[in-house]
Amino acid sequence: MSALDDLLAVMARLRDPAEGCPWDLQQTFASIVPHTLEEAYEVADAIERDDREDMRDELGDLLFQVVFYARLGEEEGSFDFDSIAAGVRDKLIRRHPHIFGEAGPITAEGQRASWEAIKADERLARTSGTDRPGALDSVPLALPALTRSRKLQGRAARVGFEWPDPRQVIDKVREELDELDEALADEPRDQAHVAEEIGDLLLACVNLARQAGVDAEHALRAGNRKFERRFRGLEAVLAEAGETLEEASFERLEAAYQTAKAREGEEPTGT
């Protein structure tokens, strides 16, 4: 037996009605979803840390999630692991006609366009009657908000709803900032209005990132790592001076932050 066959057998044993694990027997498709999302993020974290050993382990944990879903599907007779594998195999062949079909050579950009066109045809084929699917249909609600925003705006762009010049998106960001500034100045402040304007601002920023060829989710994750690194540097600066976070004023914290930035070889300009 292969390692995959062994894993499928282990999963079957865990779900055995008589001798299985009580926790595993309680699980449903819905109850596993949070664990699947957590494992996917742990894979991403291992990749960002460039830790190959952790990558292997976390990918194994993510594979186990697929095996778990497959077992649940097999038990109810809807699908099994083989049908999952066969489905993705067929999809990859169908979406790469330049490799497995008669289409000629293609560029990476051309492949992306071809892939999306084939996906659109597949969505249309799945619809019943004469209703044509909307351009924004099937973008998963469970995606992180930044990722979903990028996908929604990318779908809209493919049908022509797109600023022709990225500088126009910068103007839109400035416009949204002005509207947020006005909302913050209202007396009494309407917090729901403020939240709405912040949402509009974030949407515009995601669009700007997309137009610039940057994934907003990845960019923010990188920004988070940079902030965390520099804040730890701030703590080190204070510790060297015998100071604590609790006793330091904001001005002192800002100065320590700029020192931490300077130690990275960057100009200490702003936060």
Per-residue pLDDT of the chain (271 residues; tens, 9 = 90+): 799 999 999 999 999 999 999 999 999 999 999 899 899 989 988 998 899 999 999 999 999 999 999 999 999 999 999 999 999 999 899 888 888 877 667 777 667 666 667 766 666 666 655 566 788 887 888 888 999 999 999 989 988 899 888 889 999 999 999 999 999 999 999 999 999 999 999 999 999 999 999 999 889 989 999 999 999 999 999 999 999 999 999 999 999 999 999 998 754 444 5
Same domain, yes or no: 25 and 88:
yes
Domain contains 37: yes
pTM of the complete model: 0.65
Q: Which residues contact 256 (CB under 8 A, 6 or more apart)?
A: 234, 237, 238, 248
Domain contains 268: no
Domain contains 61: yes
Q: Domain count of the chain? A: 4
Please choose, from the candidates 95, 98, 163, the residue with its C-alpha nearest in 3D space to the C-alpha of residue 123.
95
Same domain, yes or no: 67 and 13:
yes
Give the domain range for residue 122.
97-126
Same domain, yes or no: 72 and 8:
yes
Domain contains 140: no
